[in-house]
Structure 1
């Protein structure tokens, strides 16, 4: 067991070192493309540097998440420090949106007031970016078991495509002298940055608002919980993300009148199903005996409200049936 744990720590450490190296190499790419963009008067190259910032964000967040996974929780931070990375991601995304606005503004200015472009600097800077990004991407791609590393690799390979676009734009300018190609490509890269930034804003706000993860089908999850033997009903169900890819659940589970020692297998079945099918690693399940239904608070979720509505309708039906039986008895 200890050797297995040591092997896991070693693998985790290797991933962290790879992400750290990739992060600092990406900083070199941004510096090279900003310098080349200023020397070449190329907005496309400066835009590509902005796009590379999304890689730095992805790598930095993955590096942070890997490091935080090893940091224990404490009495005040009982869930650890995972949300710090989410807050940093939101700030980065807002910064990228501001960068996009600047690129679009500069592109409009370049359309009206073209500047001479030096394609050679575009080739050199973009070429450095492609070479370093390929090195980073293939290095990260070796860590197939780590989701953060794989996601960061996809970001890096995407930036290679943008750098190839810069080289193509440089060739067009070199061969034809048509400088509007530079701001046109800049607008395209700005759109890519904006789409990526908006996706980050949407995902981070969902996590901060504790929304149900988009890959968790809540009605199907409740139905699966109800299929577990001895489960009579499930209500007050909440599923949320502690951080990206780390899910938690709380729910009230109503059972038949069973002794406490017979409830343990029910809990084990529920927790196992939730972990294997929905990747929920932290489940808090409150067992309720038949006839006991916890009161729903004002902030309780959809399934608490639905359960309350169902019970109210059921009570109304029972009351109606009782009243009808009484009238029939009196008539007889």
Structure 2
């Protein structure tokens, strides 16, 4: 077997996520007060987004800690997938908030509600400043995909705050009663594609889909080009979470490859695992080296359905 491991979720990432969580939670409290005081649907919509981001950041902090725990006898892959489950929960919550705000906005179009522009402006500014602080904290020094995903959520918050501020300016200058409702619909338009995209991404990972940016056909062809490999089958590429892609495959070696099948600088196993790591970023690889005659043994078991582009001997 060939093995490689990739680890993320450094302590610095967790500290930045924790600080961003504290700032975002404060923004959520201020936004809640503002929504109650002003009766603004735009503030309420933005609050729903901020609230789900508090959950998202809290989940990211917890998941970052869980993901660093070593594998156990019960969970041989560790708890890296906790991040994916948390993201799926966040997406469902975000979708619920988005649908509720859209329905409320349609109702307010029929019966417009007057919203104080000054209050809207004040709470919108507080929200925008808090979001920009959180975004600066998360983007400082890069970070893993967990941190970048959290930063994307906070960026959405900032855009929502801009929509609230625009509604406040329109309300103060023109008195147009629909400004707040239109701003809430803009926030819905920002949220919806992100929510659907997050649901699609988490579902893909949970269903063992191929990680983005990796073409299974390319992996198959590259392994076939490894010196001493005659055939490749039972090739699977999946991911534990968005940072931990993995691959497993059976490599049938040629007569010439039999002498160099084992580990070592010139061995088939080392050449194949190095290729997977350097060319495709697949640090976790499990490779079975076998002779051509071993195929008869495998056919005694129930074979997996054929995968397009992956040939069986």
- When normalised by structure 1's length, the TM-score is 0.83
Q: Residues 298, 55 of structure 1: CA spacing in aligned structure 2 closer, same or farther, 3 A cutoff?
A: same
In 1: Cα distance, 2:211 partner to 2:117 partner: 46
In 2: Cα distance, 1:227 partner to 1:186 partner: 55
In 2: Cα distance, 1:82 partner to 1:70 partner: 7
Aligned to 1:124, which of 122, 125, 148? 122
Extract structure 1 runs of 4+ deviating beyond 6 A: none
Which stretches in structure 1 are left out of the alignment for 5+ residues? 1-7, 312-332
1:204-215 superposed matches below 5 A: 204-215=202-213
In 2: Cα distance, 1:248 partner to 1:301 partner: 20
Q: Contact (CA 8 Å) 1:111, 1:183: kept in 2 or not?
A: yes
Q: Does 1:92 align with 2:94?
A: no
Which stretches in structure 2 are left out of the alignment for 5+ residues? 1-6
Q: Contact (CA 8 Å) 1:143, 1:150: kept in 2 or not?
A: no
| Larger mean Cα displacement after TM superposition, 29-38 or 166-175 | 29-38
**Any idea what SS the aligned residue of 1:237 has?**
strand
Whichever structure has more helix as a proportion of its residues is 1
Q: Contact (CA 8 Å) 2:63, 2:80: kept in 1 or not?
A: yes
Q: Contact (CA 8 Å) 1:39, 1:118: kept in 2 or not?
A: no
1:156-195 superposed matches below 5 A: 156-195=154-193
Aligned to 2:63, which of 51, 65, 71? 65
Per-residue deviation, residues 68-113 of structure 1 (Å, max 9, x unmatched)? 2321111101111122232222122112111111101110111111
Partner of 1:326: none
Per-residue deviation, residues 121-162 of structure 1 (Å, max 9, x unmatched)? 211211111111111111111131433223322332332122
Partner of 1:263: 262
Q: Does 1:307 align with 2:311?
A: yes
Deviation, 1:167, is 0.6
**Any idea what SS the aligned residue of 1:212 has?**
coil
In 1: Cα distance, 2:306 partner to 2:31 partner: 49
Q: Contact (CA 8 Å) 1:37, 1:121: kept in 2 or not?
A: no
How many corresponding residue pairs?
A: 300
Q: Residues 50, 301 of structure 1: CA spacing in aligned structure 2 closer, same or farther, 3 A cutoff?
A: farther
| Larger mean Cα displacement after TM superposition, 290-299 or 229-238 | 290-299
Per-residue deviation, residues 211-232 of structure 1 (Å, max 9, x unmatched)? 1112211111111111111111
RMSD: 2.3
